[in-house]
Amino acid sequence: MKIALHDNDKTNFPNLALMKLSAFYKASDNEITWYAPIFSQFYDAVYSSKVFTFTQKDSLFGTVYKGGTGYKLFNELPQEIEHICPDYTLYPKFESALGFLTRGCPNKCKWCVVPKKEGNIRPNADIEEFLDGRKSAVLLDNNVLASEYGLAQIEKISKLKIKIDFNQGLDARLIDNSVAKLLSKVKWLKPVRLACDTKSQMDSIFKAVQLLRWNNVHPSTYFVYVLVRDVSDALERVKFLKGLHLDPFAQPYIDFENSTKPTKEQRNFARWVNHKAIFKTVDWKDYKSGTKNTICT
């Protein structure tokens, strides 16, 4: 069969589901290609993946199978595909392994779809299931520190001397001295990622950062996701993070149904925070007064 793959989001970040589908069908000597509308009549099947609800759906032709949270909340790959090593040849410029050690999250943050989709935290895969001999890995776990299995996998990763990046962030509330010591054994592909989505998390961030730095987890300018709903509230958190010499990254809130669009102020605030040359030299008050009639793109 001739099978076409379609990444609806077009983010330039590898689509893990498509990589697994490619590996599965290549194992049965099927021909795999990227979808192109002009050749749609020649495809036996088209597999389209959409992660984000806010990306516009493309028009597709032929026998199309759709998956991903962006299309439908409750759909999963069959287990024989979920636990196959991804086809890394789809993204030749991406040099790291990619996967989930754990799935789910015990928290029930009202802005997060993970608990609804995946349920509570549970083991998913051993690092070597998808490592494929690579020397680094980008891990997509939503709350790996909440799992004893996840902690054991981090210990294993440290012994394998693999550089890692927990792309979705670590829960600062779960970082005590023993966890910080464990994280100090790891080689980091990117700075440790945390999240400060509410002011109630500020104390946990402060304590976690102290422990991480005390245990020499480097680089020490940790990356922190900042959910932006009320801008004044987010500004307080950003100033707090800046005072700790952390690297905040602002994300305007979009609900799962995509019915809540970011406001002009939220978008401009995110641009101010995320444009580091501006963030380090211009106060929000001055930036806001200079951009009040613009929308960042």
Count of all residues that appear for the chain in the document: 297
Residues in Cβ contact with 233 at an 8 Å cutoff, skipping those fewer than 6 apart: 199
For residue 295, the model assigns a pLDDT of 45
As a whole number, the mean pLDDT across the chain is: 93
Which residue ranges make up each domain of the chain?
Answer: 1-89, 200-297
Find the range with the poorest average confidence among 115-129, 174-188, 214-228: 115-129
Find the range with the poorest average confidence among 40-44, 183-187, 251-255: 251-255
For residue 297, the model assigns a pLDDT of 40
Contact 117, 85 (CB under 8 A): no
Q: Tell me how far apart the alpha carbons of residues 14 and 162 are, in angstroms, rounded to a whole number.
A: 20
pLDDT tens for each residue of 133-144: 999 999 999 999
**Beta strands 223-228; 247-252: pairing state:** parallel
Task: Tell me the pLDDT band of 46, cut-offs 50, 70 and 90.
Answer: very high
Q: Tell me how far apart the alpha carbons of residues 121 and 67 are, in angstroms, rounded to a whole number.
A: 22
Q: Tell me how far apart the alpha carbons of residues 198 and 266 are, in angstroms, rounded to a whole number.
A: 16
For residue 54, the model assigns a pLDDT of 83
For residue 170, the model assigns a pLDDT of 98
- Is residue 296 over pLDDT 60? no
Average pLDDT over residues 189-194: 97
Q: Indicate the helix (H) or strand (E) that contains 168.
A: none
80-114 burial, b for 16+ CB within 10 Å, e for fewer?
eebebbbbbebbeeeebbbbbbbbbbeeeeeebeb
pLDDT tens for each residue of 55-92: 889 999 999 999 988 887 667 889 999 999 999 999 99
Predicted structure pTM score = 0.92
Q: Tell me how far apart the alpha carbons of residues 123 and 144 are, in angstroms, rounded to a whole number.
A: 9
